[in-house]
Copies of this chain bind each other. A is one copy, B any other.
Amino acid sequence: MDAVKIGILGLGTVGSGTVNLLIRNSSEISRRLGKNIEIVSIADRNFKKLNDCNAEDFELTTNAYDVVCDPRIQCVAELIGGTDIAHELVLEAISNGKHVVTANKALIAIHGNELFAKARSKGVAIAFEAAVAGGIPIIKAMREGLVGNNIEWLAGIINGTCNFILTEMCNKGRDFADVLVEAQKSGYAESDPTFDIEGIDAAHKLTIMASVAFGMPLKFNKVYTEGISKITQEDVCNAAELGYIIKHLGIARRTEKGVQLRVHPTLITHQTLIANVDGVMNSVFIKSDAAGSTLYYGAGAGSAATASAVVADISDIARTLTCHVDDRVPYLSFQQDTLVDNPIVPMSEVMTSYYLRINLRDMSVASVDIMKILVEQGIGIKMMLQKQPKHDDGALSLIILTQQVTEKYMNIAITQIEALTVIEDPVMRIRIESFS
C-alpha cells in the first residue's frame, strides 16, 4: 500500500496525541484512505512526552530542521505552537516544497497571509483544522460543506477555559477567581491564563473563521477583544433571572458597513442551543443563506480531539498529493486572487443591545438621572430592575436591558452615568445577542 510520508514537529500534548492516534487507528485510517500515513521522523527539544506515546519506534531528532529539510518527507505537522520558531520552520518547510499541517492558531491568525502566499507560490497546502475548535471539523464545514452559501454571520464558544469558568459560575454559583484556580489545577487553564481569559486565544480563532467565512485576508489586529475577568457572580445570577446565560463568544458578521469582528462576553437567551453548551466544550453557530442555521459542537482542545483534526488534515493532503494546487480547497476557502479586503467595522459603530449593571448609593435620585442620560442618547429600555447586591454595604444595583443602539452612544451614556456622584463603581456593560 502507498504511504504519505510525514514529519512531526513537537511532541507535546498535540504531537504525542497525533502519534498515538496514528498508531492506534492505523488500520481504520488506511481502510478509509487507501494509503498509510507513515511517520518518517519526529523533532522535539527534549522528548519529555516520549513515554506518553510509542514514539521511540520512530526516527527522533532534537533539530527540527532535520525534519523540514528531509527529502523523504512530503508533509510536515507543526505542533510546536507560538509564532517564533514555528513560523521559521513552517516557512522553511514550504520553501522545501512540503505540505504543512498545523494546530497553531496564533501562527495562522498573525502570519497566515504571508504563509498562504508563499505556499501558493510553491504549490503546497497549509491545513489548519486543528487550529480552530479542536476536534470539531468546523473549517471543513465552512470551506466545503457550505461552499454554496453566502455566510451571513457566525458566533462561537471557542475557548474552553472561558466556557468552563462561566459554566461553573452559572451552575454552581461560584466566583470567577475561585473557578479560575480550580481550572488551573485541573489543567483546563494555563498557569498564565491571560491568553484564554482575556479573549486573545478566541480572537485568533475568530480571525481565522471570519476569513474563511467571508473570503478576506486575516485581520487579527482588527478584532475587538474583551475577556471574562470582569464578569461577577452577580452578573451571572442577574442574567439567569432574566432568562439569559452569559457566554464568551467570538462573533463575525457581515453588515453593510463592513465586517464585525468581536470577542466578548454575551448574554444569550437560555432557549438557544448554544446557550446549553457547557463546560470545556466548544460550539460554533453559522447563519448562511441556503443551509440556514447550522451548529457544530465538540471538544475544543485536548490531546486526542486536536489530533483528530491533525489526522484529518494529513488525510486530505494525502488525497490531493497529485492534484494541481488550483484543484485543492483554497486556504481561506476562496481563491487567493478573489479575497476581498473588507473594511472592519469599529466597535463604536456596532449596533447591539446591552445588559447594564449600575451600582449606586441612592436609587431615587439616580434612576431619574440615568434615565435622562439614556433618553438623550436615544437608548430605549426593554427592562429595568433593582437588585440588592450580595455584599450589603448599602449600595444597590440597577440592572437595565436596553434596546439596540450603536455602541458609540452607549459609550457616551456610560461615561456620563459614571460621572454621576451617586455611582459607586464603573458601569458593567455586557452585550446581548439574539440568535433568532
Contact = CB atoms under 8 A, between A and B. Distances in A.
A135 B319 contact: no
Interface in A320-334: 320-324, 326-330, 333-334
20 contacts: A17-B290, A25-B290, A28-B148, A32-B143, A32-B215, A32-B333, A34-B335, A137-B294, A140-B144, A145-B309, A147-B312, A289-B304, A291-B298, A291-B308, A292-B304, A293-B297, A294-B299, A321-B327, A322-B323, A323-B327
A292 B311 contact: no
Nearest to A335: B34
Q: What are the nearest 9 A-B pairs in CB distance?
A: A137-B145, A148-B311, A135-B291, A294-B298, A290-B308, A295-B297, A291-B308, A31-B338, A290-B304
B290 A147 contact: no
Contacts of A62: none
A41 interface: no
B335 A327 contact: no
A141 interface: yes
Contacts of A145: 129, 136-137, 140-141, 309, 312
A319 B329 contact: yes
A309 B145 CA distance: 7
A54 interface: no
So how many copies of this chain end up in the complex?
Answer: 2
B295 A148 contact: no
A135 B290 contact: yes
Count chain B CB atoms within 10 A of each CB in A17, A144, A310 and give the residue with the most. A144
Interface in A164-210: none
Contact of A290 (B148, B277, B307, B338): B307
A69 interface: no
Contact of A315 (B22, B144, B288): B144
A411 interface: no
A238 interface: no
A340 B316 CA distance: 23
A276 interface: yes
Interface in A81-119: none
Contacts of A140: 137, 140-141, 144-145
A141 B137 CA distance: 6
A325 to B, nearest CB: 10
A34 B326 contact: yes
